[in-house]
Structure 1
């Protein structure tokens, strides 16, 4: 009986305490974006050759890549900006079965060598692409533009993201008849550097023989989440 009486008294005491439901807060997200012309490009290029002999296929590929690497050096690219990304040698199999032979046969070999290249002088980009094609590059895995030092743009985008989130929080508080309080937390997530194809074009043709390339603009985006208190 004493135990039951004690529990009843504790329940009554808790019931008389001030009701603290969930803390009065507003959670919002914000996005900021900064735009800039790119100042660096990355190219993935390669050489692929096929021959009946594996050694011949690999030798032809190696010779072309060696010439390309030498040309890149002549054009002023630094060793840190040139890196072999993939080197492969694969058999080529016959498509069908020969009479009296149920096994597929190897008819040749394909050798490939791919190189990742960073170009920091965009004025020479078209000339570089034209040169490596002439030297035997016959496999391009893509071209992308970026910023060498994205920190200033990230700072600009981050400030815009905070302003965006605060504006949303103030709008919500006003619509609900509340007063926005102090910031409780800020979390950054996602974002990054992206090309903006529809923006202005930047021609990069060093001479009439160069490959025409348009750099456009790149955007640096920052996404944040903010939580605000509701002022009493």
Structure 2
């Protein structure tokens, strides 16, 4: 059996969000597939145009999924078809959620769905590096402490394994009225980057 000690160190770094991502969907029901698909395509173009008018770049709107499926009546016979097109919209205007949502609703009305909203950090690499350094320092401190308790000395490192995670720090959302439209105002939350390192040290 190999001699040594294995410890886990964890490092966390928190940073404010700098990008907002929305997942919007456009859906439409029709008696035949061709009509459902054509109507969704037309309405998707309308949503894209409305978002671009609000300052969203074309490169920041991309398809995340497309679906077409039958809908059944009580008799289990096909009663029609539903087509849907989901898209992810990214913006650095963290307070612009309500304006973008209203623009999309204005373009297609009840055919619009909001499937998700996420604040994020665009460049995580520096945060991951900081978290990794903190995790390794914690692992080293644990190993030194345990070695002292056992009357041993830490030697070389035998192996390192890393796991990575990210979680938002939630903050309360609020709502406000603007002109004739009800804008939903959301508050960006801080994002926490966490790295855990499992480090195996040999005894000296």
User: TM above 0.5, one fold?
Assistant: yes
Q: Which residue of 2 aligns with 1:52?
A: 31
Q: Is the 8 A contact 2:61 2:89 kept in 1?
A: yes
Are 2:48 and 1:75 aligned?
A: no
Q: Which residue of 2 aligns with 1:112?
A: 84
Q: Which residue of 1 aligns with 2:136?
A: 162
Aligned match for 1:124, one of 89, 96, 111? 96
Q: Is the 8 A contact 1:123 1:204 kept in 2?
A: no
Q: Is the 8 A contact 1:26 1:230 kept in 2?
A: yes
Q: Where in structure 2 are the equivalents of 1:12-161 lying within 5 Å?
A: 22=1, 24-96=3-75, 104-136=76-108, 138-161=112-135
1:24/1:93 CA distance change after superposition, 3 Å? closer
Kindly state the Cα deviation for residue 201 of structure 1 after the two structures are TM-superposed. 5.6
Structure 2 stretches lacking a partner, 5+ long: none
Q: Deviations over 1:123-159 (max 9, x none)?
A: 3233212221222252222112211111121121111
Give the TM-score taking structure 1 as reference length: 0.75
Larger strand share, 1 or 2: 2
1:172/1:48 CA distance change after superposition, 3 Å? same
Kindly state the Cα deviation for residue 78 of structure 1 after the two structures are TM-superposed. 2.2
How far, CA to CA, are the matches of 2:82 and 2:20 in structure 1?
A: 29
Q: CA RMSD in A?
A: 2.5
- 1:123 match: secondary structure: coil
Give the TM-score taking structure 2 as reference length: 0.84
Q: Which residue of 1 aligns with 2:152?
A: 178
How far, CA to CA, are the matches of 1:229 and 1:202 in structure 2?
A: 50
Q: Report which of the two structures shows the higher radius of gyration computed on alpha carbons.
A: 1
Aligned residues: 200
Q: Is the 8 A contact 1:32 1:159 kept in 2?
A: yes
Q: Is the 8 A contact 1:58 1:111 kept in 2?
A: yes
